Each structure stands twice: as structure tokens, then as C-alpha cells.
Amino acid sequence: MTIAVGEKLPDVTLMQLTDKGPAPVKTSELFAGKKVVVFALPGAFTPTCSNQHLPGFIEKAADIKAKGVDTIACLSVNDAFVMGAWGKQQGAGDAVLMLGDGNGDFAAKTGLDFDGSGFGMGRRSQRYSMIVEDGVVKQLNVEPNPGEAKVSGADTILSQL
């Protein structure tokens, strides 16, 4: 079952690449007492993700944070090394926190996963964005067409803040 607006997000451990290597990020700590924009996508370095979704959030990060958002987090069912390399290649810097959901735990527990086996990708995250306040989903935008980043893009989030 897909998580809904008004529900609390599950507590799972994601991974972030740091100067010292991969480091765990507990979702309970990431969201506690904060307003966070989360956007997720099927895979780092894939066309729509690299050409539209992540660049839109990097470009609009200052505008989003100016509306009271503490953190903008990008999630994908990739490991921390891939997410770190992709963030560096895309110029995410401090604008977007790049997090690996390597085992797909967050995607599965929120019901926002899908089976990409037909494309050789295994279980992946759907493309979506959400606004989270203190761990509770306030807005959820699931992309109906995974090859697009319109419903789940930065402009949609800006209009909802």
C-alpha cells in the first residue's frame, strides 16, 4: 500500500557518501523537527533523472529553501558511491542531499517502489516528490509517466510550499 498524505514515514537507514566514506542517515533523524522536500527517481545517471529531475531541484534549491525548507533530499535505489558520484557530476553541492536507498527499503516501505526487471533494473523507486514536516507527509506527487518529471518536479514543489 502506498503511503498517503498525513501518514508518518517509516524509519529506515539510507546512506550518504561523505569524505570518510558511506555514512548512515536514519530517516527518523533526517525528518525530526524539520521541513524536508524529498524527491525520488528510478536511477542515477538515467536520462530523465539526469536531464530534468535532479537539475530542476538544483536550479530551484535556493527558492525552495527560501520557503522554509530545511533540506532537499534526492533518493534513489542506488548505493552511496553512485549517488555521490552523480551528485558531483550534476553539481548538487550542498543544494541537494544525495541519499542512496541501496536495498530499496524506503521505496518498499512507502509502497513507492516498482519492478524494473524488464529493463534490467530490478526493484526501483517510482519517480515522485513530497513535502515532509516532522516525518509526516504533507504533499505527495507521484509521476504518472516515469519518463517525465513534471508532476514530481521542482516547480510543482514550489507551488505547494
From the list 9, 49, 82, 112, the catalytic residue is 49
Rounded (10°) angle between helices 80-90 and 54-65: 80
Task: Indicate whether 2 belongs to any domain.
Answer: no
Q: What is the pLDDT of residues 57-103, one digit of tens each?
A: 999 999 999 999 999 999 999 999 999 999 999 999 999 999 999 99
CA distance 90 to 130: 21
Confirm whether 49 is a catalytic residue. Answer: yes
Count how many domains the chain has: 1
Task: Indicate whether 140 belongs to any domain.
Answer: yes
Q: What is the CATH number of the domain that holds 112?
A: 3.40.30.10
Determine the 3-state secondary structure of 26 from DSSP: strand
Does residue 124 have a pLDDT over 80? no
Does residue 114 have a pLDDT over 90? no
Note down the domain range covering 151: 13-160
Task: Indicate whether 4 belongs to any domain.
Answer: no
pTM metric for this prediction = 0.93
- What confidence category does residue 47 fall into, taking pLDDT thresholds of 50, 70 and 90? confident
Asked if 138 and 3 count as a contact pair (C-beta separation under 8 A), the reply is no
Q: What is the pLDDT of residues 9-41, one digit of tens each?
A: 999 999 999 999 999 999 999 999 999 999 999
Burial profile 79-113: b = 16 or more Cβ within 10 angstroms, e = fewer: bbebbbbbbeebebeebbbbbbbbebbbbbbbebb
Which pLDDT score, from 0 to 100, does residue 145 have?
84
